[in-house]
Amino acid sequence: MTEERQITYKSEVLRKGIHLLSLSIPVVYALISKATALWILIPLACLCVVIDVLGHKKGWIRNTLLRYFETVMRNHELKIDKVRLNGASHVLIAACACVLFFPKIIAITAFSILIISDICAALVGRRYGSHRFLDKSLEGTLAFAGSAIVVVLVIASIISAPISFVVIGVVAGLVGALVENISPRLRLDDNISIPGSVGLTMLILTSLISVVPAPH
């Protein structure tokens, strides 16, 4: 596995600032129907993927992307030997999958953890990570787990969810922290692996405990 390009910490903050804008997806989804959300998200995902593909085939499109985003792009996003999707495409694909396959509250929780906890893990890990844990730093993984718990508690408070929802969400958040850490060895983009693992864990545990709180 090749080493990932290490962008500067300032660029990392900027990249995660852009990533934070994706928090609008679960917020808006809480206010609209599943069908409406998919009508919005699927075209956006398709558009982003098309731009990615054309960016590898059309020089002027690639040059435009590099002009504005090169400083925040990872190594795999800069390679031109084959088409690789960037972070925005993976985020939108993950959003479509969450909305399509998970109950609304699980999709909202999983995607919110993706945005908030991934940001916390990256910024804390880059700045304070000094102890190796599996594929990344212990500090970054703890930041992910702690922020995921906060996300679950905030959502539970907003929807007045039972304690079982909190327990399920916390367990799923811890699973997400582990999966985020080992995503490189799994060769998975964490924008896909995080909400997928969190949502699937919540779905399985919810079916066992028979608790599915859902905002309408």
Domain ranges of the chain: 9-209
Q: Is the pLDDT of residue 14 over 80?
A: no
Q: Is 137 helix (H, G, I), strand (E, B) or coil?
A: strand
Give CA–CA dist 113/121, Å, rounded.
11
pTM: 0.82
Which amino acid type is present at position 44? Answer: L
Q: What is the pLDDT of residues 87-98, one digit of tens each?
A: 788 899 999 999
In sequence order, the 6+-apart residues with CB closer than 8 A to the CB of 150 are 116
Exposure on the CB side of residue 202, measured as CA atoms within 13 A: 34
Q: What are the b/e assignments for 67-76, b being 16+ CB within 10 Å? A: eebeebbbee
Q: Which residue has the higher pLDDT, 5 or 206?
A: 206
The answer to whether the beta carbons of residues 101 and 93 sit under 8 Å apart is no
pLDDT tens by residue, 100-144: 999 999 999 999 999 999 999 988 988 887 888 888 889 999 999
What three-state secondary structure class fits 153? helix
Give the C-alpha separation, 73 to 7, whole Å. 8
Check whether 5 has a pLDDT greater than 70: no
Give the Cα separation of 48 and 90 in Å (integer).
9
What is the distance between the alpha carbons of residues 170 and 163, in angstroms, rounded to a whole number? 11
